[in-house]
């Protein structure tokens, strides 16, 4: 199946056609693959046809230094304005490839082949790509859409369990903010159900991709509804940075902090937080952590969603219904303290 989605900065072709279509979509003589050391080992046959830039795996390499080295290699390959850059990998690779393609020669075409569940439902979609700067996540970057995103869910079967959980954190996020029926569906299953049922997995990925596309096409530059996608990510990003946790685990904790804030700020029933904690644990995600609030606040005050002394926090009034609430730092600090002291849900 193929369809296109239009955004202000470009039209993206969604291709659920499998990786075998890559050569057709991006011919080897006019394309360069950017991938990481883990993915390169797994997909030697795919990359063999292409000029390939392999960067070391790991979020710690999502930096300007990596962009510098990618640029040097693009120059060595004599890549030009019509060269297509293909990001083959997870969220770190889609960020590096999308950002490098957006600034190299002031912009060359690019496409993604996401190889993780998280990248398929979130990181590859939306056009925001960039790098971390010190402790600040995604501080430098661009908004520019890929020309295509090529899906092959068979690629997911090489993933370790932790990577499946990471993806489910974002899937549960979509359910919390937009889709109560999806939340109900997720609460009756576990990861293995989707691993073993290709149809259910494909439908799940497409449903989440549709939520993200709908939101981003309404507000590509994140002035309004796109902010809702940050549910769980404000505290989540600070937790991810401070404790060096996988993104999904940090977002899992961040969503519970956000539920706790939602109880005091918009009357969310406390049962929702308990239900969410249960669903997260079903997908092998954490529901508690002792937090160092002061250190988290030092990171949080530099959040991109900050304006003066408030942060636009995403809260829930119920499952499937999210809203943006500017909150003072003190309110967030109190919620982190409360979460940290609460122990297990
Ligand atoms: N690349 C992720 C996003 O645009 O949200």
Q: What is the CATH number of the domain that holds 293?
A: 1.20.1090.10
Characterise 77 by phi-psi region: left (phi > 0), alpha (psi -120 to 50), beta (else). alpha
Over its length of 345 residues, how does the chain's per-residue pLDDT go in tens digits? Answer: 999 999 999 999 999 999 999 999 999 999 999 999 999 999 999 999 999 999 999 989 999 999 999 999 999 999 999 999 999 999 999 999 999 999 999 999 999 999 999 999 999 999 999 999 987 888 999 999 999 999 999 999 989 999 999 999 999 999 999 999 999 999 999 999 999 999 999 999 999 999 999 999 999 999 999 999 999 999 999 999 899 999 999 999 999 999 999 999 999 999 999 999 999 999 999 999 988 999 999 988 877 667 778 899 999 999 999 999 999 999 999 989 888 877 645
Q: Which atom of ligand 1 is nearest to the CA of 143?
A: 4
Q: Are 129 and 144 in contact (CB under 8 A)?
A: yes
- C-alpha 178/C-alpha 46 separation (Å) is 36
Angle made by CA atoms 37, 23, 198, in degrees to the nearest 5: 75
Tell me the residue range of the domain where 135 lies: 2-158
Q: Ligand 1 centroid vs 87 CA: distance in angstroms?
A: 14
Query: In the beta sheet, which residues pair with residue 47?
Result: none
Q: What is the DSSP letter of 200?
A: H
Q: Which atom of ligand 1 is nearest to the CA of 122?
A: 2
Write phi, then psi, for 154 (nearest 5 degrees): -60, -25
Q: Which atom of ligand 1 is nearest to the CA of 98?
A: 1
Specify whether 133 is located in the same domain as 194: no
Q: Ligand 1 centroid vs 50 CA: distance in angstroms?
A: 26
- C-alpha 91/C-alpha 130 separation (Å) is 10
Q: How far is CA 136 from the centre of its chain?
A: 16
Sheet holding 310-318, edge to edge: 306-307, 310-318, 321-328
- Residues lining ligand 1, Cβ inside 6 A: 123, 126-129
Q: Which pLDDT score, from 0 to 100, does residue 209 have?
A: 97
Specify whether 171 is located in the same domain as 241: yes
Pseudo-torsion of CA 96, 97, 102, 105, nearest 10°?
A: 110
Specify whether 148 is located in the same domain as 190: no
Angle made by CA atoms 53, 55, 60, in degrees to the nearest 5: 155
Specify whether 310 is located in the same domain as 180: yes
Specify whether 112 is located in the same domain as 221: no
Q: Could you tell me the CA-to-CA distances from 93 to 8, 46, 105, 120 in Å, in that order?
A: 23, 16, 19, 12
Query: In the beta sheet, which residues pair with residue 282?
Result: none
Specify whether 142 is located in the same domain as 182: no
Domain count within the chain: 2
Q: Ligand 1 centroid vs 39 CA: distance in angstroms?
A: 20
Q: Which pLDDT score, from 0 to 100, does residue 343 have?
A: 61
Whichever domain contains 120, its CATH number is 3.40.50.1970
Q: How far is CA 239 from the centre of its chain?
A: 15
Specify whether 230 is located in the same domain as 318: yes
Specify whether 190 is located in the same domain as 119: no
Specify whether 313 is located in the same domain as 173: yes
Domain boundary among 115, 134, 158: 158
Query: In the beta sheet, which residues pair with residue 141?
Result: 130
Query: In the beta sheet, which residues pair with residue 136?
Result: 133
Q: Which pLDDT score, from 0 to 100, does residue 207 have?
A: 98
Specify whether 272 is located in the same domain as 172: yes
Q: Which pLDDT score, from 0 to 100, does residue 344 have?
A: 46
Specify whether 199 is located in the same domain as 271: yes
Domain boundary among 124, 158, 192: 158
Specify whether 174 is located in the same domain as 250: yes
Q: Ligand 1 centroid vs 345 CA: distance in angstroms?
A: 31
Q: Which atom of ligand 1 is nearest to the CA of 129?
A: 1
State both tokens at 57: 């795996």
**Which residue's alpha carbon is at the smallest distance from atom 2 of ligand 1?**
123
Domain boundary among 95, 127, 158: 158
pTM given for the model: 0.94
Q: Ligand 1 centroid vs 152 CA: distance in angstroms?
A: 19
């Amino acid at each position: 199946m193929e369809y296109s989605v239009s955004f202000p900065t470009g039209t993206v072709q969604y291709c659920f056609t499998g990786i075998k279509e890559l050569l057709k979509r991006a011919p080897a003589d006019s394309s360069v693959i950017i991938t990481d050391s883990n993915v390169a080992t797994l997909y030697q046959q795919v990359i063999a046809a292409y000029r390939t830039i392999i960067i070391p795996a790991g979020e710690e390499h999502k930096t300007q230094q990596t962009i510098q080295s990618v640029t040097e290699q693009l120059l060595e390959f004599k890549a030009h304005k019509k060269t297509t850059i293909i990001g083959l990998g997870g969220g770190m690779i889609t960020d590096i490839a999308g950002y490098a393609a957006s600034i190299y020669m002031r912009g060359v075409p690019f496409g993604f082949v996401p190889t993780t569940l998280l990248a398929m439902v979130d990181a590859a979609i939306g056009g925001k790509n960039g790098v971390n700067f010190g402790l600040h996540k995604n501080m430098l970057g661009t908004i520019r859409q890929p020309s295509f995103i090529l899906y092959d869910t068979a690629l997911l079967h090489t993933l370790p369990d932790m990577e499946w959980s990471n993806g489910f954190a974002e899937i549960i996020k979509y359910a919390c903010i937009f889709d109560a029926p999806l939340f109900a569906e997720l609460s009756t299953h576990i990861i293995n159900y989707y691993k073993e049922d290709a149809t259910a997995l494909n439908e799940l990925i497409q449903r989440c991709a549709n939520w993200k596309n709908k939101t981003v096409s309404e507000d590509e530059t994140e002035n309004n509804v796109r902010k809702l996608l940050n549910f769980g990510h404000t505290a989540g990003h600070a937790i991810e940075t401070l404790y060096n946790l996988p993104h999904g685990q940090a977002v899992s904790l961040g969503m519970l902090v956000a539920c706790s804030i939602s109880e005091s700020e918009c009357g969310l029933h406390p049962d929702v937080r308990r239900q969410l904690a249960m669903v997260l644990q079903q997908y092998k995600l954490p529901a508690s952590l002792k937090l160092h609030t002061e250190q988290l606040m030092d990171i949080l005050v530099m959040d991109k969603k900050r304006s003066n002394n408030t942060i636009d926090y995403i809260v829930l009034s119920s499952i499937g219904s999210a809203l943006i609430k500017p909150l003072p730092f003190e309110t967030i600090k109190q919620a982190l303290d409360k979460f940290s002291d609460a122990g297990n849900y």
